[in-house]
Structure 1
Amino acid sequence: MIERCDPIIAEWVDREVGEHARRHGWTHKAMAETRSGIRIVIGLQDDPGAPIKATDVTLLGGIDLPVRRILDVLAEMRLLDDDRTPAVKTWFAQRAAELPAPMRDELGI
């Protein structure tokens, strides 16, 4: 999967991850895993250069890649589409589910 990442984009990713890692004192392993994760998601894109959905990045946790770090770097690179539902919205929906619709709608505002 990593090989599918365009070499020019891969070079940019390597540079950006390296700079971010140095600023934040990451280990070599953390930097390498973050680079690999970003290359994977970029390599899987149908439209290279388009923003990457955060929900797609979270799947990388299944192969033990550092999701939070990948999300942080993608956001810094302006390549992140954070399509996750904020926790407060999920919490509210659960708590308000049994309220009458007009009350739930009013509280939702």
Structure 2
Amino acid sequence: MELHLETVALFSLKLAYESEGQSPILRDDLVMGDYQRDVFELLVRRGDVEGIQVKVGECVGLALEAVGGVDKPLGRELNRLTADFSSAQTIEQLGIPLLAIKDYLNDIL
């Protein structure tokens, strides 16, 4: 799960900050500091669902702005997927919505 959490963060930050002609954002870039796999691993081990949701929400919020917000088709779908993720109450319930967000962000990159 930690890898998928980190990937969602990476894809979100790529949408928000990466522009054509610049070097790509990578997992070891400074912007990924609070969203690296080991940070998510600690949150997962603690069972901190709310902490995970906050971290993912920060990144997905940036991606949502990058695609034009909830008034645009891409933003509406991303917002819907994020709502499913945010309503999870256990680590296990995060899995399916997390994969849906990851796949969607990958598709729109």
Going by fraction, where is helix more abundant, 1 or 2?
Answer: 2
TM category (shorter chain) comes to 0.3 to 0.5
Using the size of structure 1 for normalisation, the TM-score is 0.33
TM normalised by structure 2 equals: 0.33
Compare CA radii of gyration and give the structure with the larger one. 1
